[in-house]
Amino acid sequence: MSQLYDPKDGMVTRERTWSGRRRPGTALSCLVLAVGCTLAGLLGLAGCGGATPRPSETWGGFPTWLPTPTQADNQVLPGSQASPALAEQGDGILAELPDGGAVLAVITGPLILNPGLGGTGSVATGIWTVTMSEATVPVQIAVDDFAGWDSNGQIYHPTVVSLATSSIPIDPSATVLDALPATLEPGQTVVFGLQATIAAGEGVMQWAPDGRTPIGSWDFILEND
What domains lie within the chain, and their CATH numbers?
2-58 (no CATH), 76-222 (2.60.40.1240)
pLDDT at 164: 76
pLDDT at 50: 52
pTM of the model: 0.66
Q: Is the peptide bond before 115 cis (omega within 30 degrees of 0)?
A: no
Q: Is the peptide bond before 181 cis (omega within 30 degrees of 0)?
A: yes
pLDDT at 2: 42
Cα dihedral value 135, 140, 141, 146, nearest 10: -100
Which helix (H) or strand (E) segment holds residue 33: the answer is helix 26-42
Q: Which of 78, 75, 93 is nearest to 205 (CA)?
A: 93
Mean pLDDT per block of 10 residues along the chain (225 residues) reads 44 41 45 48 47 47 44 82 96 96 96 65 87 97 95 92 80 90 96 92 94 95 76
